[in-house]
Amino acid sequence: MRSFKRSYSELSRLANFEERYDYLQLNGSVGLETFGGERYLNQRFYTSTEWRQLRYEVIARDRGCDLGLDGYEIHDNIIIHHMNPMSIDDIESHNQDILNPEYLISVTLATHNAIHYGTDTFLAKPIIERSPGDTQLW
C-alpha cells in the first residue's frame, strides 16, 4: 500500500481511467477486517446528515461519473470512495479529512472493489469509436 496521501487534485490531472485506477489501487485482501466489532462506527458515520450532504456535493462535482471521468457515467448506485482508507481513530477523533471532498471520489461498486482488492477484470472498458466503413467487430 502506498504511504502518500491521495487527493482529488492529483487524480484529476490523470488523463484516463487506467491511470486514475492505478493511482487509487490499494491491493487489499477480500475479507480483511477494517472495522471488525466496531463496524457500528462507520455505519453511524455513513448515515449522518453531514456525510449525506457531502455525498451529493461530490457526486455533483464528479458529474456522476466513475472516477470523475467524462464518458464513464454511473447509471446505478454511486459509491463515494475515501481515497485514503478511513480508520476507527479517524471517526473517533473527528478527523476532518474523512469529510473533505479533496479526498473523495465517485465510483461504481466494481471500481470500488477493484481499488480495494485489485480485481480490475470487472472495470469499465473504454468505448470503441466506430467510423463509416468500419467492418471489424468489437
What is the rounded CA–CA span in Å between residue 108 and residue 76?
A: 8
* Residue whose C-alpha is closest to residue 7's, from 27, 25, 23: 23
Q: What's the confidence (pLDDT) of residue 2?
A: 43
- Per-position pLDDT tens, the chain of length 138: 445 799 999 999 999 999 999 999 987 755 455 665 677 788 889 999 999 999 999 999 999 999 999 999 999 999 999 999 888 888 989 999 999 999 999 999 999 989 988 877 767 666 667 778 777 665
Domain ranges of the chain: 8-122
Q: What's the confidence (pLDDT) of residue 38?
A: 72
Q: What's the confidence (pLDDT) of residue 40?
A: 78
CB 17 within 8 A of CB 124: yes
Q: How many residues does the chain have?
A: 138
